[in-house]
Structure 1
């Protein structure tokens, strides 16, 4: 069994230089984009895979007024406005975001010992942007999205695969499902983290009261 106190359980390149920790920029959005771009250039595996946490109504009868849920998603685009992903509006996360349009997102890149933590409001993209995002998916992914009802019970996996294959072979293309949409997480909180095996991790946190408000930043203890 792996010893959780073994420094080797935290691996990666801790010698990388991150001058932003000593001279933080006023606006973290270009820095956020820079980290995401550099992770791809550094050959990080799955650099745009992120954990997305949402929360939805619970059952007050057992004391759970709100229940959180988390899953791994693929971030499809990012710019100065935020981070874009797609989902079914009828899925668990879609229902959560409809009832409370806020979420948290986390990236962890083991190879470079970097972590990004992002919190903020989530806006649903318009029909045109959502359709463009859907068309950008591989044909097989479009077909699965059109054939599946995400999160619903699965009675026949072979039948689902057959429906997806039939859709993928359509010459006229695959229409976007009516319950599929793009979403954008607009950050109001961003933390940049670089790990060290000594656990003297470097942390730089940004906050703003609302979208459009000025950012503040602070170094945090590990």
Structure 2
């Protein structure tokens, strides 16, 4: 898994560097991927990111709550998560992304709990630190063994009965293989794990209040056991 993590870290660091140079990596996507229904859909979708309405509604952020955005990418800037009444904490494996988000928060006077370079299987927080969490667009890069460690670590840093929203690729969705091809092209190879295998890991630590498998990513709305 170490080699996989390095690939993902390097790919996202490169993306940050490209955007700083005015290069949009999506513009170099080959036509055989660009012309797929999946690629066309991701430009108009509003329900697959960390700020999707169903995620906020379920998490119900309130003042005084600590919110963990695990695998935060540029969510703070892209989706204005700093405007939630809860206190924002972001972690990501990419140092370039974290530096960029720190600069963004400072430049825009956004008060946050913190931004940290961290592996989601080894978080830098005390037990029962967070009230709510989102792990969106992250776990597709992980082996099942690593997923098990990451879920245990998420459970550790969440309070009892805390809410979280977690997603993984839906291997039965018609866009799943096209998503995998795009991620591989971008240098971020991902996995299409059997749904039941993931749910077995999830149910050992969380109760599943509901799930949504209508999209290429299955969303699980859970609470800590």
The reply to whether TM is greater than 0.5 is no
TM-score interval for Structure 1 and Structure 2 normalised by the shorter chain? under 0.3
Structure with more strand by fraction: 1
Q: State TM-score, norm by structure 1.
A: 0.23
